[in-house]
Structure 1
Amino acid sequence: MLLNNNVTEFILLGLTQEPVKRKIVFVFFLLFYLGTLLGNFLIIVTIKTSRALGSPMYFFLFYLSLSDTCFSTSVAPRMIVDALLKNNTISFSECMIQVFSAHFFGSLEILILILMAIDRYVAICKPLHYMSIMSRWVCSVLVAIAWVGACVHSLVQIFLTLSLPFCGPNVIDHYFCDLQPLLKLACTDTYVINLLLVSNSGAICTVSFVMLMFSYVIILHSLRNHSAEGRKKALSTCISHIIVVILFFGPCIFIYTRPATTFPMDKMIAVFYTIGTPLINPLIYTLRNAEVKNAMRKLWSKKLISDNQR
């Protein structure tokens, strides 16, 4: 399939070609990326070191923060460096690796969000059997299945992309390698491939979003039987999850559930779910979660005490 491929590298146009705006892009997205790394790193370290955060919910939150970090890293560093360079070329193999990694960690995040919804459903609707159903072994198996599922999804995407011949032009009107911009550059009829790609990514996003929202409707409906204190705590957690789901799935559904046509706003919408959501997630889960905030305070107080003792 690759024998007919005459393109060895692609040119990424980025968000803008204007020098001043490119410097603004560099500063803002460098700060966003550093904020993403810091926020998610704090959550990862806090969950790993705190005994109070040993429940399945925080087990899944650990992997959500990990997937957020990797998802952002698959796109942001290259975008930040390219904002300072005049010649933004990316080799064919690097482009394919970026497609694979972005879709791998993006789909992993989707599957982790589904696992978090399952966890909340069991915790609220089956409280007496929660620890037996959501044991550490079960949670580990579910996360392993999520990793395998994300890998299968990404392999399908990359194999479909590699089946396309690229013989020029090689200019990608985007800031990272993604499927829709690459389909526009293929020198063959991409109708069937596009349908397969849309049915893969688009169906995963849409079906997962509908499943998640339906599950949270059931969960919120079941809260009427809980005490006022329990209802307040569960409601706070579920609202955090629902906000994350809407912020992540809204842009993804817009991008991946339509034919291979691009709109001027596509790049900004892609920025929202590749850069924005991984930055916002830690803020949502820390600002709305008293247990995480308390665990972070204890972690830093212990660190300050140990530093002073030295």
Structure 2
Amino acid sequence: MTAPLDASAKGVVHAAGEKRRPWLPWAVQALRIALCLVFGLPLLFMIVSSFKPDTQIFGDLGSASAFLPVGSLSLDNYQGVFERVPFARFLINSVIISVVTVGLGIVVNSMAAFALSRLKFPGQKLVLGVILATLIVPFETMALPLLWWVNQLPYFDGSIGWLDTYEVQIIPFVANAFSIYLFYQYFDSIPKELDEAATVDGASWFRIYRSIVMPLAGPAIATVAILTFLPAWNSYLWPLMVTQSESIRPAMVGIDYFKQMNVSWGQIMAYASIITVPVLVLFVAFQRAFINSIASSGVKG
């Protein structure tokens, strides 16, 4: 039975493999470039087309000019976006909904995971299994029952039904099974001896959660925040079903306004660029932190 190789031996073996196959680094680099083109060209087409009139967009489709900023370029499409829809209001609504969903989600899901990880009660594993089982249920199958349910709930002013409110776009998505599982795995890796020491000093469970466990769970919090923000920002089907007033509709629903009557593909591209580029820039800026948080969150492949 052979002993496993240490890190230095693995490095020697890897270097020897590269010498025998000098084309391998070039092949890997070519694959990376190909993947960048596959995922990047649609974004490039969207941004470039946002500066072109509709006639030129369709005229350039058969050539490389579709991806190049050539021809009659202007900001007319972006000006048309603000003239056609209340874009500033839609953008503010998306920010409010996304930020509040992330904030409440971190608190609620982390507390649920803390209870499942630290407290001992009958049926603990069963509760965790039921929560994880909800991951296999697609949202589309729950949309209509959920719509009926939120329409029966009492509102703060005494009326019945949450339709056409901020709450109906936030509350149903605060609790998330995947976020609970991420927190559960990370909390489970924190030594429970810290809890025992804090209990001896008279700390309550909530004090242990707030002062010991959560300060050590930075990577898990970052992961959950990013993975919660993206679906909240990109939500389309549910806001389309439950909102009617422009004053509370998010940005993703606003793109439907450009499909009515006179369809302007240039304005659609401009609108999509405005709501996509900030998120893309944010992800690129925090890419390293996102990858590190995923790697250290306790998720085993």
Q: TM-score, normalised by structure 2?
A: 0.30
TM-score (norm 1): 0.30
Larger Rg belongs to: 2
Between Structure 1 and Structure 2, the one with more helix by share is 1
